[in-house]
Structure 1
C-alpha cells in the first residue's frame, strides 16, 4: 500500500524578477501564469509586486514577484550592475523577460540588447555563478505585419544569452511532445529551486521594518504584495547610482524626508483601520499602500 506524503513547504522563497518594455502587457502574462495580477492605476508597472502561490506534488511555496519596466536600458543596466544590486540578484530564483514580437529590425535589435544586458547583470550578481530559471516570453503583437522569425531562430537568439524562448501564443505540445506557451513557463518554473539562501536577509532593505507593526494588521502582507520590498530595493539602487552627483547630499536628504512622510502616512492609516474586520482591514491596507507606492 502506498503511503501518502505531504508536500514540503518552503518558508523563505527566492524571488522572480519580471521585466518588460513599456509597450508590453506584462500584467496579462502574470495573470495567465498565476491566475491573478496586481492592480495598478499608475502609468508604469515599475515597482509593483505580486505573489504566486505555487504548489506541486513535492513542495508548496509563496513566491514574491517583483515587476520592473525598462524605459532606458543603459540606465537600468547601470543601476543593476552596481554593488548595491548584487544582493538583489542573489535573491532571485528566476528572470522573466517579456517583450512584444518585433515589427522592425530595430525592435529586434532592442530585444537582443535587453537580453544581453540582463545576462550581464545576472552574471555580475554572483561571484560563484547564478543558478535559476530564465525565460524570454514573446507576447502577441497587435501591429501587422511584424517580423517573421521562426521558433528555431528565436530559440538560438535567446539561448545565446542563457534564456529559454517561449511564445505566449503557443498552445498544446510541440512535435517533440513538450509543453508550449504558458504551460511551458509554469513547467520551467516548477522545476526550479526556490529555497532562499539563508545568508541573505532582505529585511534590512524594507523601510517599514524600521517601525514594525503587528503581524495581523494587514499592512505587512499588503506592503509586500503592493511592492514595498522591491520599491525599497530600487530606491537603494537609485541612491547608489546618484552617489557621484554633486547634489548627492541634498538628494539623499530629500529621500529621507520622503520616507519619513510615507511612514507617518502608513502609521496613520494603520491606526484608522484598527477597528475594521480582517477582510476590510486588508482591503483598506491595500488601498493605502497603493497610494504610498504612487509617491515612490
Structure 2
C-alpha cells in the first residue's frame, strides 16, 4: 500500500470568533483540536499556535493556524461613547465592525491572504433560548413567545456570520468552484439532544419550520437563508471530553465531526503542485533543494513557503499582534511597524517578480534563476 503523501506547503486554517466570545471559545477549542494549550490573552491576529496535524490514508499535513476576532455590532453599542476630542492611543487600532472586516478582507491588497486560506472555522458561544412565557390566568390564550429573530444579539451574530460568508464566497469565486473552502460553525457550549433539536410542536416558537431556536437545525436554516450553502453547523461541549457521538443519521458530532471535515479537505496549495526533476545533482545542498533535485516539490515549494510565511507575518501585524519590545518604549514603534509592513510587501512583490521573469526562460535556466533569487531573499530574511 502506498504511503500517504506529505503536503509540504498546506494552506492555512483560519479560525474566527466574535471578540466578546473568543476568551471562552477559542482556548478550549484550540486545545481540544490540536492538543496544545493556549496561553494568549487576545486572539486578534494570533498566528503562533502549533500547527494542526492531519493524517488520512492519502496525505499527512501540518496545517498552520491563523486566529482572528471580530467585534460584534452589539459590542460597540454596549461600550460607552467616545468623546469627539478623544483620540485612539498610539499603537492601538480602532475596533472594526463585521462589515469593515469584510471590506478589508475583500480588498485587492488582501488577495495574498485570501489565497493562503484553506478552510474556515467559526467559533461562537451559542445563544440562550427564550424562556417560555408564563401561562395566562383564566381561559384566555397563552401569550406569544418571544420573537428571537428581532433580538439584538441574534441580529449581531447574523451580521457577523454574513460577513464571514461573503469573504468565503469571494475566495471560492476566485478559485473557480464551490466547496473550495470548507467551513464549520462551531456552537460552543451545552449541546442539546438530537430529539430536542428536531421536536416540532405548535408551541415551539418562532424558529424556522418549527425548529427549536438556537439548535443545530435552526442555525442551519439561518445560514441557508443567508446564502451560506455548504457551511456545516456543529455543536460542541468542552465538558464532554473525547466521547464520540452520532446523530440520528449516523454522522459524527462534536469535535470528531470538525476533524472529519478538515481531514477530508485537500490542503495542498497551488505552489506545491510542481513536478519532480531528474537533474544531474550538481551544486551545494541548498541549491539541490531549491532546484528540486532531492524531492518532488522543487523550488516552487520554497518560493511558496517563503511567500506564505511572509503573508502570515503581515497578517499578524495588520491584525494588531504585539511584537516583542513594543511595550519597552514608544519612540519609533509606529515607524518600525510601518517599515516592517513595507518590507514584507516589497518581498512579496519580489517573489512574484521571480515567477514572472523566470516564466520566459528554458526550464533549467528558470530553475537556476529562481534558486539564486530565492537564496538572496533568504539571506535578507
Scaled by the length of structure 1, what TM-score is found? 0.65
8 Å Cα contact 1:17/1:95 also seen in 2 = yes
**Displacement of 1:65:** 0.7
Distance verdict in 2 for CA 1:205–1:254, change over 3 Å: farther
Larger gyration radius, structure 1 or structure 2 = 2
Q: How many residues align?
A: 219
8 Å Cα contact 1:82/1:237 also seen in 2 = no
> 1:122 aligned to 2:171?
no
Structure 2 unaligned residues grouped into runs of 5+: 72-96, 129-147, 191-211, 272-299, 321-331, 343-381
Could you tell me which of 69, 89, 104 is aligned with 1:79?
104
Distance verdict in 2 for CA 1:14–1:106, change over 3 Å: same
For 1:195 and 1:205, the matched residues in 2 are separated by 13
Q: Specify the alignment match of 1:133 in structure 2.
A: 182
Any residues of structure 2 matched to 1:20-169 within 5 Å, and which? 20-24=17-21, 25-40=25-40, 42=41, 44-49=42-47, 50=49, 51-71=51-71, 72-103=97-128, 105-125=151-171, 126-127=173-174, 128-129=176-177, 131-140=180-189, 148-159=213-224, 160-162=227-229, 163-169=231-237
Distance verdict in 2 for CA 1:80–1:259, change over 3 Å: closer
> 1:191 aligned to 2:216?
no
> 1:18 aligned to 2:15?
yes
Distance verdict in 2 for CA 1:205–1:186, change over 3 Å: closer
For 1:186 and 1:79, the matched residues in 2 are separated by 29
Q: Secondary structure, in 3 states, of the residue corresponding to 2:27?
A: helix
Question: Which protein, 1 or 2, shows the higher relative CO under an 8 Å CA cutoff with sep ≥ 6?
Answer: 1
For 2:335 and 2:181, the matched residues in 1 are separated by 37
For 2:334 and 2:44, the matched residues in 1 are separated by 21
Q: Secondary structure, in 3 states, of the residue corresponding to 2:270?
A: coil
**Displacement of 1:82:** 1.0
| 1:219-258 per-position Cα deviation (integer Å, ceiling 9, x unaligned) | xxxxxxxxxx5341254689xxxxxxxxxxx998453357
| 1:47-86 per-position Cα deviation (integer Å, ceiling 9, x unaligned) | 2122111112221101001000112323322211111112
8 Å Cα contact 2:45/2:317 also seen in 1 = no
| 1:141-171 per-position Cα deviation (integer Å, ceiling 9, x unaligned) | 7xxxxx9433321222234413111101385
**Displacement of 1:22:** 2.0
For 2:308 and 2:63, the matched residues in 1 are separated by 18
**Displacement of 1:206:** 4.8
Distance verdict in 2 for CA 1:93–1:14, change over 3 Å: same
For 2:245 and 2:59, the matched residues in 1 are separated by 25
For 2:2 and 2:189, the matched residues in 1 are separated by 41
For 1:45 and 1:237, the matched residues in 2 are separated by 9
| 1:80-126 per-position Cα deviation (integer Å, ceiling 9, x unaligned) | 11111122112211000110112472222222111211121122234
Distance verdict in 2 for CA 1:80–1:90, change over 3 Å: same
For 2:308 and 2:118, the matched residues in 1 are separated by 19
Q: Specify the alignment match of 1:279 in structure 2.
A: none
For 2:319 and 2:108, the matched residues in 1 are separated by 9
**Displacement of 1:30:** 1.4
For 2:105 and 2:341, the matched residues in 1 are separated by 22
Structure 1 unaligned residues grouped into runs of 5+: 142-146, 208-228, 239-249, 261-296
Q: Specify the alignment match of 2:252 in structure 1.
A: 179
Q: Secondary structure, in 3 states, of the residue corresponding to 1:94?
A: strand
